[in-house]
Chains A and B, each alone.
Chain A
Amino acid sequence: MKTARYAIWTCALAILFMAGAATLARADAAASASAAELKDALAKAPSTSTLANGDPGGVITGTVNDVPVGDAKTGLTLGDVSNQVGQNKIAINFVWTLITGFLVMFMQAGFAMVEAGLCRVKNANHTYMMNFFVYTCGLFAYWIIGFAIQMGGAAGNGNLGGLQSLNTEHLITLFGTHWGIFGECGMFLARSTYDVGVMVIFLFEMVFMDTALTIVTGACAERWKFLAFAVSSVLMGAFTYPLYGNWAWGGGWLAQLGVNLGLGKGYCDFAGSGVVHAVGGLTALAVAMIVGPRIGKFNRDGSSNAIIGHDISAVLIGCFILAFGWFGFNPGSTLGASAAGNLRIGSIAVNTMLAGCTATLGALLYMWVFKGKPDASMSGNGILAGLVAITAPSGFVNTMGAAIIGFVAGVLVCFSCAFVENVLKVDDPVGAVSVHGTCGLWGVLSIGFFADGTSNYGGSWNGVTGSVTGLFYGDASQLVAQFVGCATLVGFVFTFSFVLNWILDITLGQRVSIETEVAGLDLPEMGQLGYPEFVFKPEPDFMVTAGKMAVA
């Protein structure tokens, strides 16, 4: 018996040993085959003398000879080739994210033209300068602290190499679950965040942040003190925007609503209807309320006067610049063009332009039918409203949804402008509150309705497996998450901005003096007229009367 058991064990061990040896032999054979194929490829690669004859058709440039070799003694290996494939994926994504970020940066020029064009000529220099200097204020504030608050805990993005150095998120524990509040890595992009991937995400997120900051300058144009604008913008770039940005995009609690409470895929905002535009629009509302209306905007009976902008051509060209830049805003938010569902960038771009188109139709037709004329400035606001609204859902909806979202935004912005001016009695020279605030909130909510469940960005979103799906495609819980996001925008972001700017009003005063406002901000605030060789046309009677009464 003992001998039999011994024999069985010996046979079993021998069989195992032979199986292992066979596997190793097959692996060795495969490795040998791979090495042989690589050697063969190297042998067939064009030589230096062949390349010296030129390659007009591009058929022999870019070969196995261009793959870096890790060990010169070993020569080219499968590992070398695999490393190069990984590098190529990351390089494609880096280039895509950077180029689209450059497009978004160019939107600053569009915003400047739209805002200045809708203001009077005596304030042109001041308005342009606010849009110019906001880039500096925002970028600096974001570099010293804002980026760390927003993205300090955002590690894990596979498109950009992992971003593993952004690995510290401040958490609180409530009702037994962890909620992210703000990040802690990345101030001054120093120490471990001096990293190639971090640089790319910093640039991309920074230009989005600056879009939010520039929105406020439009709503408060023609009476906002330059000093107050500068301090307010620095603080918004350092704290207000990054805080909400962390909650939505930096691994914070809004994004975790899906994982923690089963609300869809958590709060979703593909490119920032909420994070960028609603934050900007609601902050604009808060500051416009504190600064107060322009002299002459409202009459004693509460009726409003139209204060016409000085350059409609600048407005419409500015809108086209913005629409062009939006091709960086939305498609660029995939943070890559290789792998993880990123080939959807074409869909996102088409959704973007389609929503802008139908929004323009909605606004222009509304104005033409109900007000009698196809108004140029409201048409410009219309296209922007559609682009703002599609920003959040662009990565999750089909073209039908995009068209509907855009059309609704185009009509909504007309109603909202009238409401803000005639009911709230808030003076907004460019319609920033309605375009960015109202339509930004609509864009956030529209995900909860129209997300069609066909997108696939690596098989999950915000850590929840599956695709973002809205009410019309079977998931009501996503709508709840979107409402929570909207409530946070109105309830927290607006309040935070209101209190912060209220304190600034007490400390340094937000508004220019009456004399400065009546004379125009260019000379007193900037020291130079925007158009020094122009002969100014006298202002309408109601403006002259209001100005005289104010000074008296």
Chain B
Amino acid sequence: MAATKSQGSRFTLFMAGLTTLCAGIAFSDTGGGKSALVVGLVAVVASLWGFFKIKPLEGETGNGPQPAVMKLIGVAVVLGGWLFVLFGLHLTAGIGGRLFTSIVGFAVSLAGICFILAPAVNKNAIWKA
């Protein structure tokens, strides 16, 4: 099973909900805007719930389950490298020191992608089956 009317109706609800939500944010200083905010949020959540409900009907995919913990660790390392860069700018005022912390943090983020996330997403890849 691929594209269906169920997908189409839920996507329509998602788009309508997101538009209403954004209208609510844009005009949040009015009564109508506040109502739109609530209606939009409910519609978006309802559409995501609708997607979740029809997902099992769409058949088995060619991708095995990816280990969540390993992915979370990878995400944390990637993010941590960036945060090290930001705080490194305030650890030292010298250009050399800032260049060093920026390069190290950048490298840590890249390492998180290459050595943690990439193996994690390939752990149960279809080509290993």
Contact = CB atoms under 8 A, between A and B. Distances in A.
A426 B117 CA distance: 11
A312 interface: no
Interface string A126-168: 0000000000000011001100100000000000000000000
Contacts of A298: 125, 127
A480 B99 contact: yes
Given A476-B99, A483-B106, A498-B117, A230 B59 contact: no
B18 A293 contact: no
Contacts of A487: 81-82, 85, 102, 105-106, 109
A21 interface: no
Interface in B87-129: 89-90, 95, 98-99, 102-103, 105-106, 109-110, 113-114, 117-118, 121-122, 125-129
B103 A145 contact: no
A499 interface: yes
B71 interface: yes
Interface stretch (A76-84, A342-350, A454-462, A516-524): A516-524
Contact of A231 (B11, B81, B89, B110): B11
Contacts of A231: 11, 14, 51
A512 interface: yes
A141 B106 CA distance: 31
Interface in B1-21: 1-3, 7, 11, 14-15, 18-19
Nearest to B4: A227
B15 A234 contact: yes
A255 B52 CA distance: 40
Interface in B50-85: 51-52, 55, 58-63, 66, 71, 75, 78-79, 81-83, 85
Contact of A550 (B25, B62, B113, B118): B62
A479 B60 CA distance: 48
In this complex, the member of B3, B83, B105, B129 whose beta carbon has the largest number of chain A beta carbons within 10 angstroms is: B3
Contacts of A507: 48, 51-52, 55
Contacts of B18: 141, 144, 234, 238
B41 interface: no
B47 to A, nearest CB: 9
Given A188-B22, A490-B110, A480 B59 contact: no
B23 interface: yes
Nearest to A488: B82
A491 B102 CA distance: 12
A261 B92 CA distance: 11
A495 interface: yes
A263 interface: yes
Contacts of A524: 1-3
A346 B55 CA distance: 53
Interface stretch (A95-103, A105-113, A283-291, A393-401): A283-291
Nearest to B78: A495
B122 to A, nearest CB: 5
Contact of A145 (B22, B61, B63): B22
A501 to B, nearest CB: 12
Nearest to B52: A507
B74 to A, nearest CB: 9
Interface of A is mostly: helix
Given A490-B110, A507-B51, A550-B126, A514 B60 contact: yes
A256 to B, nearest CB: 12
> In the complex, which of the residues A425, A494, A495 has the most CB atoms of chain B within 10 Å of its own CB atom?
A495
B95 A477 contact: yes
B102 A514 contact: no
B62 A223 contact: yes
B38 interface: no
B121 to A, nearest CB: 4
A122 interface: no
A262 to B, nearest CB: 8
A33 interface: no
A231 B98 CA distance: 39
CB-based closest 9 A-B pairs: A491-B82, A513-B59, A524-B2, A508-B51, A292-B63, A187-B26, A483-B102, A298-B127, A144-B22
Interface of B: 1-3, 7, 11, 14-15, 18-19, 22-23, 25-26, 48, 51-52, 55, 58-63, 66, 71, 75, 78-79, 81-83, 85-86, 89-90, 95, 98-99, 102-103, 105-106, 109-110, 113-114, 117-118, 121-122, 125-129
27 contacts: A144-B18, A188-B22, A225-B2, A230-B11, A292-B61, A292-B62, A423-B118, A424-B114, A479-B99, A480-B95, A480-B102, A484-B86, A487-B82, A490-B82, A491-B79, A491-B82, A491-B85, A495-B82, A507-B48, A509-B55, A509-B61, A511-B61, A512-B2, A521-B2, A526-B3, A527-B3, A550-B129
Given A238-B22, A293-B125, A487-B109, 19 more contacts: A144-B19, A148-B26, A187-B22, A227-B51, A289-B118, A293-B126, A295-B126, A424-B118, A476-B99, A477-B98, A484-B86, A491-B78, A491-B105, A502-B71, A506-B52, A511-B61, A513-B61, A517-B62, A525-B3
